């Protein structure tokens, strides 16, 4: 029996090779893998010895040879194939362990020259893996070091079952497909390609999906360039395993709190991906208290995200409420000990923000029956140079602060979206209604008396004046919205009649 070992990631290599040698296998290897085996005292033949041809073109060509690919592709159940091997003096290859150059890791650094990135595009490796995976009935193909020990154990126990071989082949094809997807992502320019592949690597299995009858897993997106770091990169300090819904809500909470304007401490509370509380204040405890006051009933069982390391004082306030997850860039020892006593509460510490350069523009991917919808993610920061005060009365300084705050929040609320803010705190949310007037009413009902003196943000224009009139009747004094409706003149008349300040941003933020 003969194995070909050609890996970039050397994890588990020596143990695999030693196990095969103990079983009487012959090992063939290449380049750095061969050197690693030799240094460990493991006998192996060089690929050049098998092919009778040296590695050329700085190693670009070494395994692309009939002596290698015939050994991988020959069917063991076809006498003609075996006779051809014998005629040409080619031995079959029964196991291939291969993984690829670190292209994604290379291009994650924006300073890497294009020529250097191109050299990290593996050619021979994917070709061998494809050949072995195609012929998996006769060739074991290993692309994940985690499979080395189990497969060795199965070989010792008498052989690897056909179903297991097929699973390994599927894993191999997925491995090279993900690799190629990142390469394509790196090479393509702007716009949407005629064909698209999306790559991901499993981060963890989940207990279940949105409901217990749905299986689920979480994957990290593999993209070319510096990927934005998110919830899956957080370090969990305490609490139960994260669920599908926990991850969705935690991602939503972190997105909102990260977008809130200013350098002061900020807190956001999310329930079912909807912000039900958010605030910016001079201290973290006061920011949490203000966020909780936004909707303390909805906050129960929600997710809390904070922009500053969690201290003991704020942790004491959080401990009085049932929350599922707390997310922060850090935790003091006292805060961790205090909240760690709540066995069901997950504590997530977010990683430091990457500073090597901005991430490449990401795609927002939505599944539909039989297909996918792709769009650029709505992550463009607000550009106040495009904002226009369209009312006779301009906003006051306090109203401007609330308008900026509300505009930062409303883009994270499902359409039709209305938010009310006062003193840089979220006091009312209207979400997901089929008409904008319904969302205004919901937001005003949630806010109650706190709507008086509040600023309102709308993710899209008001198609009729009734929404503005309803907001004014509730006590709203300033509105920020994209504008652009054919009835803008009617809306402005209603705003002026109520003494409202109004700002047009010229940018819509639907979130379906």
In this prediction, residue 357 has a pLDDT band, given cuts at 50, 70 and 90, of: very low
Same domain, 182 and 33: yes
Give me the CATH number covering residue 262.
Answer: 3.40.140.20
234 in the same domain as 170:
no
Q: Which of 96-110, 156-170, 349-363 has the lowest mean pLDDT?
A: 349-363
Residue 412 known to be catalytic: no
Question: Do 439 and 431 contact (CB within 8 A), yes or no?
Answer: yes
What three-state secondary structure class fits 265?
A: coil
Kindly give, in sequence order, each residue whose CB lies less than 8 Å from that of residue 75, ignoring residues fewer than 6 positions away: 81, 135, 137, 138
Among candidate residues 300, 334, 349, the one where a domain is terminated: 349
Strand residue runs (E) in 313-436 = 323-328, 346-349, 363-368, 371-376, 388-389, 418-421, 426-430
Residues 425 and 323 occupy one common structural domain = no
- Domain of 119, CATH number, reads 3.40.50.1380
- Quick check: is 361 in a domain? no
* 315 CA to centre of own chain: 28
Query: Would 379 be classed as within a structural domain?
Result: no
* 339: containing domain: 230-349
Q: Are residues 234 and 182 in the same domain?
A: no
Asked if residue 261 and residue 157 are part of one domain, the reply reads no
Residue 388 predicted with pLDDT over 80: yes
The whole-angstrom separation of Cα 412 and Cα 457 is: 12
Quick one: pLDDT at residue 447? 95
Residue 512 covered by a domain: no
Indicate whether 373 belongs to any domain.
no
Does a structural domain hold residue 380?
no
* Mean pLDDT (whole number) for 221-225: 82
Do 395 and 342 lie in one domain? The reply is no
Residues 296 and 389 in one domain: no
- pLDDT class for 227, splitting at 50, 70, 90? low
pLDDT for residue 360 is more than 80: no
Within-domain flag for 459:
yes
Query: Where residue 361 falls among pLDDT bands split at 50, 70, 90?
Result: low
Whether 312 and 173 map to the same domain: the answer is no
Q: Annotated catalytic residue: which of 10, 81, 134, 171?
A: 134
Tell me what pLDDT residue 49 has: 86
Q: Indicate which residue of 171, 272, 342, 414 is catalytic.
A: 272
Give the residue from 152, 187, 222 where a domain finishes: 187
Residues linked to residue 280 through DSSP beta bridges, in sequence order: 266
Q: Which residues pair with 310 in a beta bridge?
A: 331
Residues β-bridged to residue 220: 201
Respond yes or no: is residue 134 known to be catalytic: yes
Distance between CA atoms of residues 101 and 108, nearest Å:
14
Q: Measured between alpha carbons, how far is 426 from 456 in angstroms, rounded to an integer?
A: 10
Same-domain pairing of 392 and 447: yes
Mean pLDDT of 321-335: 95
Shared domain for 395 and 344, answered yes or no, is no
The predicted model scores a pTM of 0.86
Q: Please indicate whether residue 352 or residue 114 has the higher confidence score (pLDDT).
A: 114
Question: What average pLDDT does range 486-497 have in this prediction?
Answer: 95
Say if 221 falls within a structural domain. Answer: no
pLDDT at 57 over 50: yes
Q: For residue 161, tell me if it sits in a domain.
A: yes
Specify the pLDDT at position 353.
59
Say what the pLDDT of residue 31 is: 83
Average pLDDT over residues 274-286: 96
Q: Which residues contact 141 (CB under 8 A, 6 or more apart)?
A: 95, 96, 98, 129, 132, 133, 168, 169, 172
Domain count, the chain: 3
Find the range with the poorest average confidence among 154-163, 186-195, 401-410: 186-195
* pLDDT for residue 356: 43
Q: Does the pLDDT value for residue 355 go beyond 60? A: no
| Element at 249 (helix H, strand E) | helix 244-259
Report the chain's mean pLDDT, rounded to a whole number.
Answer: 92
Residues 47 and 162 both lie in one domain:
yes
Mean pLDDT lowest among 49-63, 206-220, 259-273, 392-406: 49-63
Q: Do 430 and 287 sit in the same domain of this protein? A: no
Give CA–CA dist 214/211, Å, rounded. Answer: 6
Amino acid 354: pLDDT: 52
State the average pLDDT over residues 135-146: 95
Q: Of the residues 153, 187, 221, which one is the last residue of a structural domain?
A: 187
CA distance 184 to 198: 10
């Amino acid at each position: 029996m003969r194995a070909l070992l050609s890996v970039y990631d050397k994890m588990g290599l020596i143990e695999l090779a030693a196990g095969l040698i103990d079983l009487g296998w012959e090992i063939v290897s290449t380049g750095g893998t061969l050197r690693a085996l030799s240094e460990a005292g493991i006998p192996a033949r060089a690929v050049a010895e098998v092919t009778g041809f040296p590695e050329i073109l700085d190693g670009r060509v070494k395994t692309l040879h009939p002596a290698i690919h015939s050994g991988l592709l020959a069917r063991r159940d076809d006498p003609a194939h075996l006779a051809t091997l014998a005629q040409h003096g080619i031995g079959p290859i029964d196991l291939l362990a291969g993984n690829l150059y670190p292209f994604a890791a290379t291009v994650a650094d924006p300073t890497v020259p294009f020529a250097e990135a191109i050299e990290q595009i593996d050619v021979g490796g994917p070709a061998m893996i494809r050949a072995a995976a195609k012929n998996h009935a006769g060739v074991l193909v290993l692309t994940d070091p985690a499979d080395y020990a189990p497969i060795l154990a199965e070989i010792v126990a008498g052989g690897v079952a056909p179903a297991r071989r097929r699973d390994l082949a599927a894993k191999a094809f997925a491995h090279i497909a993900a690799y190629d997807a990142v390469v394509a992502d790196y090479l393509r320019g702007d716009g949407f390609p005629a064909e698209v592949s999306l790559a991901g690597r499993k981060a963890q299995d989940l207990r279940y999906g949105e409901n217990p009858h749905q299986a689920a897993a979480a994957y990290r997106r593999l993209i070319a360039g510096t990927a934005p770091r998110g919830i899956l990169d957080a370090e969990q300090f305490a609490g139960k395993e994260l669920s599908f819904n926990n991850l969705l809500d935690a991602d939503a909470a972190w997105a909102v709190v990260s977008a809130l304007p200013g350098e002061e401490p900020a807190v956001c509370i999310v329930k079912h991906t909807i912000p039900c509380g958010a605030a910016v204040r001079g201290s973290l405890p006061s920011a949490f208290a203000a966020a909780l006051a936004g909707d303390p009933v909805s906050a129960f069982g929600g997710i809390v995200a904070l922009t500053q390391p969690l201290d003991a004082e704020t942790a004491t306030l959080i401990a009085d409420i049932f929350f599922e997850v707390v997310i922060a860039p850090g935790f003091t020892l006292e805060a961790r000990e205090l909240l760690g006593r709540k066995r069901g509460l997950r504590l997530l510490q977010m990683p430091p923000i990457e500073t090597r350069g901005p991430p490449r523009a990401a795609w927002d991917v939505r599944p539909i029956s039989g297909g996918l919808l792709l769009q650029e993610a709505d992550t463009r920061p607000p550009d106040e140079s495009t904002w226009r005060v369209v009312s006779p009365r301009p906003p006051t300084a306090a109203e401007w602060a609330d308008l900026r705050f509300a505009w930062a929040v409303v883009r994270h609320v499902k359409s039709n979206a209305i938010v009310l803010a006062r003193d840089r705190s979220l006091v009312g949310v209207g979400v997901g209604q089929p008409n904008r007037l319904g969302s205004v009413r919901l937001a005003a009902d949630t806010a109650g008396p706190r709507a008086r003196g509040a600023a309102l943000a709308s993710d899209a224009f008001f198609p009729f004046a009734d929404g503005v009139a309803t907001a004014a009747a509730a006590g709203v004094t300033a509105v920020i919205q994209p504008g652009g409706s054919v009835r803008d003149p009617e809306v402005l008349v209603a705003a002026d009649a109520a003494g409202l300040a109004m700002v047009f941003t010229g940018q819509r933020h639907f979130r379906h």
